[in-house]
Chain A
């Protein structure tokens, strides 16, 4: 068997149903010399390393889900996700994108409809944490820009999340971790920005208009058009206030680096 075929066969076997390892196909078993330790036990070390380490990566990046559903249930979901969605490259910092979509269609989680959005929040926090460094737009640089050429871009660490569930309150509920407390998940949705002003990811709650405006800028819509669209949908939107607030928060990319 060619090396490329051996590697493909090995990979497929690792991602197959665990029972396959108990009685590996004959042509697979023939690849190995076994000695006194049976082949299934040898292969299981690899499988446990692969699936276990990737599941651990998923668990580590979803501490809120762990609080909400417990370690065992999260582990079960994460293992299923890992088997269906192995990483595609050798850097795992951003591994787990798509876990929210996976949870949406995960039968056992159907009773907890807010779970997928909580995963979305945690993915956003992880992506903000690992995003590259860049320079924020400061007031003095903005003052020197000509208004007609002004184009605002969001920094690479800025993530936008919208949900019909109060993700911020659910998050606080998880952090407080008070077994006597209950909360309603139907108290209205939330829009927010997750970003990394210094070393850790931070959540900022957004008004509807503010969210729409940031979303439009993030999609590359021109400044004038973004303001117009936002104003049409949200009469109370004030661009000057928006600009001042997000210069202070350091949401935008420095103009000198954003061309």
Chain B
């Protein structure tokens, strides 16, 4: 019943439709940066937010609206649980769509992973076996989401710490097939590729070379940590550090292959001053300028 009441409420006027950001480098807007980003907007091309933080309304939306006046937005979800055998939550779709209608993001996305099983939502991006059954499950949920939103979405490759014995294909092949079957784009997280390749003894450059380059609509960069375990080292994707040198090298390789794709600097814990994120964003922009041999921020003009 409350759903019907909500549908009758007057909706705030939406922002103008999105256009691809002229400067392809963006940063994540998180709570500690609200005041600074809205009062003295940093020199970056766009902002990314997790839509779940703005569900239902509330005071956070005030800052999101102020931010949207100055920047294009990418709505990057973490809660759709697209890889669950349970169907996507209709309530989650409804709240997400409400934000899309108001804020007119240039990209919407979530992950090739699952979080929910039965009545528990575990708030983490959990691993899928790369099998036909998983692919069918993911395709079904992505198709439902795209149908509900009336637009295509991007799906991101996750960081993984286990590999399933029954895998029938590589992760990049899995991502390519998902994109081919559903029409969704690929959100290529370069740090996740590096982390999962290390953890499973794979070649991250081969992964980038194997991905369908025409489908990549956004790239992500973040920091990870190294943890010693027995005789080995496991890499953990924490979004709590600067991007590592090896990951910048992999990003260079990706830019060479994919060109000027919107790129995000993610930081989700142990927040540094905003200037550190901007510094990382500048680094990504410099790499694109150098590799592509042009000023990418003027390329769209």
- Name A's B-contacting residues (CB within 8 A): 2-4, 6-8, 10-11, 14-15, 30-33, 35-39, 41-43, 45-46, 49-50, 53-54, 57, 86-94, 129-133, 196, 199-200, 257
Contact = CB atoms under 8 A, between A and B. Distances in A.
B122 interface: yes
B91 A89 contact: yes
Interface stretch (B53-61, B176-184, B215-223): B53-61
Contact of B62 (A39, A54, A93, A199): A199
Nearest to A196: B59
B56 A132 contact: yes
Given A38-B230, A46-B124, A133-B57, A89 B89 contact: yes
A39 B122 contact: no
Nearest to B131: A3
A11 B118 contact: yes
Given A3-B133, A36-B232, A200-B59, A90 B89 contact: yes
Interface residues of B, number: 56
A15 B120 contact: yes
Interface string B77-118: 111110011000101100100000000000000000011111
A133 B65 CA distance: 13
A29 B138 CA distance: 24
A243 to B, nearest CB: 25
Given A32-B165, A39-B162, A43-B162, A92 B56 contact: no
Contacts of A131: 56-58
A10 B126 contact: yes
Contact of A129 (B58, B95, B126): B58
18 contacts: A3-B85, A3-B134, A31-B166, A33-B164, A33-B167, A37-B199, A38-B230, A42-B199, A45-B234, A50-B122, A50-B123, A87-B123, A89-B116, A90-B121, A91-B92, A130-B56, A132-B58, A196-B58
A55 B236 CA distance: 19
A93 B124 contact: no
Contacts of A129: 58-59
B33 interface: no
B122 A91 contact: no
A217 B52 CA distance: 31
B234 A10 contact: no
B163 interface: yes
B200 interface: yes
A131 B59 CA distance: 8
A53 B57 contact: no
